[in-house]
Amino acid sequence: MRELAEKLATLERTLAQEKGPFDLFALFLRENAPGVWDLVVAAQWIERDADKALPEISERVRRHLTSKEIAKIARVVVVERTHPALKAITSAIAIEHGIAEVTNSNFFGLAIKHAFIIVARRDSPPNKALNPTVGRGRPPAG
């Protein structure tokens, strides 16, 4: 799986150069979803137009990965930048354009068996009283 994380790290760098930085870009293997990973993202440019950004990210993932690699990704999940759990992650792990591997953790109220965190930026916005749920999820196109 590290190879998949490395390929996605390359894609993250490209997207960040084109669109703007991510606050979070990570692969999560949920405890209750063995064998399939969630690509979890948060960025200001995504929030500006999530209806356009989510399909674009999914399409870029599809073009960047092989069909076998795509089959390992269950969905792309957009997290609101003001979600309290995002601040918790970025406080615990600060990384940008790298790969931090985490096991047996709890993120966003979900048991995460394994994670590869490519970006977790500490300078994401302060928490606000907004919808504390994880944003939309969509399977990668293809």
In the chain (142 residues long), the average pLDDT of successive 10-residue segments reads: 95 97 96 92 95 95 96 95 90 91 91 95 52 44 50
What is the predicted pLDDT for the residue at 140? 55
Tell me which residue has tokens 């394994």.
Answer: 114
Tell me which residue has tokens 């209806």.
Answer: 51
What is the predicted pLDDT for the residue at 59? 96
What is the predicted pLDDT for the residue at 134? 40
Q: Phi and psi of 6, rounded to 5°?
A: -65, -40
Entry pTM: 0.84
Q: Which of 102, 110, 100 is nearest to 133 (CA)?
A: 110
What is the predicted pLDDT for the residue at 139? 52
